[in-house]
Chains A and B, each alone.
Chain A
Amino acid sequence: MNLLFEKLCVLSRSQKIRNISIQFVFLIFVGLFVYYLVSKTLQLDITLSHFASRAGFGISHIFYTDYTSNDNRWAAYLAGVINTVRVCLVGIVLATLLGTIMGVARLSKNLLFSTISYVYVEILRNTPLLIQIIFWQIIFLQLPRISEALTLGNNVVISNRGILLPFAASNENGYGGLWIAIIAISLILSLSISFYINKQEDITGKVVKLYNFRLSGNLIGLLLFFTATIVTYFLLQQPYNIDLPSLYQNDKGTYLQSGGFEFTPEFGAILFALVMYTGTFITEIVRGSIQSLPKGQSEAAQAIGLSNYQTMTLIILPQALRSIIPPLTNQYLNLTKNSSLSVVIAYPELFMVSRTIMNNSGRALPVFFLILLTYLTLSLAISMVMNIINRRVTSIGT
């Protein structure tokens, strides 16, 4: 008996046994908690069967799908997801541009330029995004009423119902999809050809020449792309026309607008707010990364006679990109999640549509899991793309 006790004492001193027992106790608690949650969940209806029924609510911004309120809830949800993806894609591109410009501006020797960047960051970073969304909505709604709409030579119509811009409208001959495909293929082709020629030029030092005129890879690629797209455009009997917006009065005297690309106040407000807000964080990231580079880099660039612009684009930014991209990914994810705030101005994206579905169906939990899954998918997609870019960027020069 004494021997057994001593053995137990020795065993209890062993790190391995202690680790296992700690985990065991921990898992029991977690298991009890999960069991409690699951047992509560099972009392609720967690199937998504109600998604097959009629949605019964209209969505004001339909893009790419033809959703009506008679469709089922899946279609409504899809329309919401497309709206989210749309605002996120445009927002990410614009926020990156704005953030990079402002981040470089913050370090510029030009006092005016750096002041603008400083004021921009300090004001917009420290106010809630929600306030900014509402602010931009108020600004957009203060545009003139539609009866006094501003028109720019019949190309642009600006009123508080939205800004109408010229847009491409597909012709009825059905070649539109084919043309888009050709554009995509020729884009990839011309990019790879110009990349190949540039690389050959770097390796061999030989230059492609046409009557003493140097043809660089970029020029060839551009030429190829534009000739391919323009020639096929006419070959396919002009699959797209320019669709000009129009403003007219019907017989009762009410003003109506149609045609063109409609940039609605809601979309504009959420886009502006997201871009401005996320832009401040990207500004700080860009500034921090540039500042973290050793000063010798920019001095060396100046020593070999590069201009300020060349120093920035050829020396500083490519190196800074390595430390920019991981936090940038984080900001993109934040932007995606923050787009759910557009519920406050009734831009019908993923979150607002699913809130309506929750209210209508009374089954919140499964819809919530769907939201979680959708945002997770979007986040994973963004992280995957950014990881690929990150691998490329970090592999340069190693």
Chain B
Amino acid sequence: MHKIIKWSFETFFGSIFNTLITLISLVIFFFLINSIIGFIANSEWELVRVNRRLLLIGRMPPEHEWRIWPILWISSYLVFSSISAWASPSKKDLLLISIGIFIVCLIFTTSATFIFVISSLLICIVSYGISYFVCKNIHNNYYKKFLITSWILLLPIIFAILLLGDGPKPTLWGGFLLNIILACVAIGFGFPLGVLFAIGRASSLPAIKVTCTVYIETIRGAPLVAWLLLAWFVLPKFLPEFWGINNISVVIRAMIILSAFTSAYTAEVIRGGLQSIPKGQLEAADSLNFGFITKMLLIILPQAIRVVIPALISTFIGVFKDTSLVFILALTDLLQVGRIIPEQSPEFFGRQLEALCVVAFLFWIISISLSSLSKKVERSLGIGIR
């Protein structure tokens, strides 16, 4: 007891400066907690409960709503199998994950969708268990290869489910679904392109190097909203006219721009990784008479990407956050839905903050889980620790 009092006295009131800091922090804490409690006491979450369908899938027609559930099932299976296969989460992580999922379910479950949500939760638990036992087993290599393949196939599967059989037009996608699709496409296409551009920029051939540098620096030179505006006004005029490509939907244009943007930023990150590889590795690969592609795929890229995984993940988080900028293309993504719904119905007038809070929470929960993943990877690679 004596020790605790001494410790707390030293940490909080050790010197005059320290005391001052403690007092200031107490004032800030008091102010924050006071305003948060005031907000919660006065808030009404009816707005979110009524409009949850809009928030999640936007203006998707009700007859196509069933397309969402297989996507949710497949992705929850993949996410939880991968968590169990690679991340080896501690009990604390599992608790946090389940709390997050619980809150999301609490906000967004209706009686109509109850059965689907329950089945999705069951799939989560079962897939976690299955891959936990398989990975203990001898077959774990095959299983991991299977998981990687299905991650790569995830985008085509999502598109097939959303579009096949007279699916809704892409302009009708909206809400959180749109954000996630845009982020997946941007990362899925932007990452491989970014690797290519990074290799090109590090290349010794001047023509390739200059071209890649010009591309990367031009894209990074202007803000994303400016590029999106360009897609809105000019991109159709630059696309070829056959098959009506020049009339592509605004969502596809946003995808093109976001992929280009991601590729430029990813290329810069990977370039850092390429520079960190000692020259001896290249020479060793050359002395083994590896060709260029073998050298890159087997020697250089695995090492380069491994070093920059934390930076890569934070770039991806940035891309995910940036998908909220598609408001400039008049798309109704999650944030736009959150801005519009308080204005639509008179009984919710002046309740923007509640809608904004839910929107921010949804973005936050995805970003924070990705960033904790990156911290975990960083720790397991031993980068931050000296």
Segment 110-141 of A: residues with Cβ below 8 Å from B: 110-113, 115-116, 122-123, 125-131, 134-135, 138
Chain B residues with CB under 8 A of A131: 324, 335, 356, 359-360, 363
Whole-angstrom CA separation of A40 from B245 in the bound complex: 15
Interface contact B233-A127, CB-CB below 8 Å: no
Please judge, given known A-B contacts A40-B238, A368-B234, whether A351 and B353 are in contact too, CB under 8 Å.
no
Please judge, given known A-B contacts A116-B25, A116-B28, A368-B230, whether A26 and B207 are in contact too, CB under 8 Å.
yes
Whole-angstrom CA separation of A337 from B226 in the bound complex: 10
Please judge, given known A-B contacts A110-B25, A368-B230, whether A130 and B325 are in contact too, CB under 8 Å.
yes
Interface contact B205-A22, CB-CB below 8 Å: yes
Interface contact B21-A113, CB-CB below 8 Å: yes
Give the segment of A143-151, A212-220, A338-346 that binds chain B: A338-346
Min CB distance A299 to B, Å, is 15
Give the segment of B12-20, B48-56, B81-89 that binds chain A: B12-20
Min CB distance A354 to B, Å, is 8
Measured CB to CB, the nearest residue on chain A to B367 is: A126
| Cross-chain contact of A130 among B21, B324, B386 (Cβ < 8 A) | B324
Chain A residues with CB under 8 A of B17: 308-309
Chain B residues with CB under 8 A of A337: 222-224
Chain B residues with CB under 8 A of A371: 222, 226
Min CB distance A353 to B, Å, is 12
Segment 277-327 of A: residues with Cβ below 8 Å from B: 291-292, 307-309
Cβ of A252 within 8 Å of any chain B Cβ, yes or no, is no
Cβ of A37 within 8 Å of any chain B Cβ, yes or no, is yes
Whole-angstrom CA separation of A365 from B206 in the bound complex: 29
Measured CB to CB, the nearest residue on chain B to A307 is: B15
Interface centre among B25, B237, B335 (most CB of A within 10 A): B25
Give the segment of A176-184, A222-230, A234-242, A372-380 that binds chain B: A372-380
Interface centre among A291, A341, A376 (most CB of B within 10 A): A341
* Cβ proximity bits B342-360 to A, threshold 8 Å, 1 near / 0 not: 0000000000110010011
* Cβ proximity bits B196-211 to A, threshold 8 Å, 1 near / 0 not: 0000000011111001
Segment 320-344 of B: residues with Cβ below 8 Å from A: 321-322, 324-325, 327-328, 335, 339
Cβ of A89 within 8 Å of any chain B Cβ, yes or no, is no
Min CB distance B230 to A, Å, is 5
Whole-angstrom CA separation of A134 from B363 in the bound complex: 15
Interface contact B233-A111, CB-CB below 8 Å: no
Segment 193-227 of A: residues with Cβ below 8 Å from B: none
Cβ of B171 within 8 Å of any chain A Cβ, yes or no, is no
Cβ of A392 within 8 Å of any chain B Cβ, yes or no, is no
Min CB distance B95 to A, Å, is 17
Interface contact A126-B208, CB-CB below 8 Å: no
Chain B residues with CB under 8 A of A125: 367, 371
Whole-angstrom CA separation of A344 from B330 in the bound complex: 12
Cβ of A381 within 8 Å of any chain B Cβ, yes or no, is no
Chain B residues with CB under 8 A of A43: 237
Interface contact B223-A130, CB-CB below 8 Å: no
Whole-angstrom CA separation of A129 from B367 in the bound complex: 13
Please judge, given known A-B contacts A355-B229, A364-B230, whether A308 and B15 are in contact too, CB under 8 Å.
yes
Chain B residues with CB under 8 A of A291: 384
Cβ of A30 within 8 Å of any chain B Cβ, yes or no, is yes
Measured CB to CB, the residues of B under 8 A from A are 11-12, 14-15, 17-18, 21-22, 25-26, 28-29, 204-208, 211, 218, 221-226, 229-230, 233-234, 237-238, 317, 321-322, 324-325, 327-328, 335, 339, 352-353, 356, 359-360, 363-364, 367-368, 371, 384, 386
